[in-house]
Amino acid sequence: MPSRNANPIEQPTVENIDLSSILVALSEPVRLGIVAALASHDGDVACGTFDLPVAKSTSSHHFKVLRESGVMHQYDEGTRRLNRLRRADLDARFPGLLDLIIAEGRQVVVPIIGP
């Protein structure tokens, strides 16, 4: 549940994104797959739309790590939580990194169900 008032969605500002956190976040196969899938998809994608090989709670954990490391931005829309890659921010901070991830991360197939 996108808890509105309860737990605010926290994410680092652009200048506060640090590489170590990014590396830790992306060194996990599931998370790398999420990023690659999200990158090769137009528009924002809800958490549940990813076909991940883990339980819901685990999935939620991974999204949290990705958000807090600054890889993606999350916002609530009704009952769903949408994800958006922080392309501009990442490119500004670490030029070329995202492209490498995307290019290589496609090997990890993470289907996205529906639109």
Partner DNA sequence: CCTGATGTTCGATCAGCGTCGAACACGATG
Partner DNA sequence: CATCGTGTTCGACGCTGATCGAACATCAGG
The β-bridge partners of 50 are 112
Phi-psi region of 70 (alpha: psi -120 to 50; beta: other; left: phi over 0): left
Q: Does the footprint of its own copies cover residue 18 (CB under 8 A)? A: yes
Which phi and psi (to 5°) does residue 45 adopt?
-130, 135
Tell me how many degrees the CA angle 81-113-63 measures, rounded to the nearest 5. Answer: 35
Q: Does the footprint of DNA cover residue 96 (CB under 7 A)? A: no
Q: In whole angstroms, how close is the CB of 95 to DNA at the nearest point?
A: 26
Among residues 23, 28, 91, 109, the one that binds DNA under rule CB under 7 A: 28
Q: In whole angstroms, how close is the CB of 6 to its own copies at the nearest point?
A: 31
Contact 110, 52 (CB under 8 A): yes
User: Which residues make up the interface to DNA (CB under 7 A)?
Assistant: 1-7, 28, 30, 46-49, 53-65, 74, 78-82
User: Which residues make up the interface to its own copies (CB under 8 A)?
Assistant: 18-20, 23-24, 26-27, 29, 32, 94-97, 100-101, 104-105
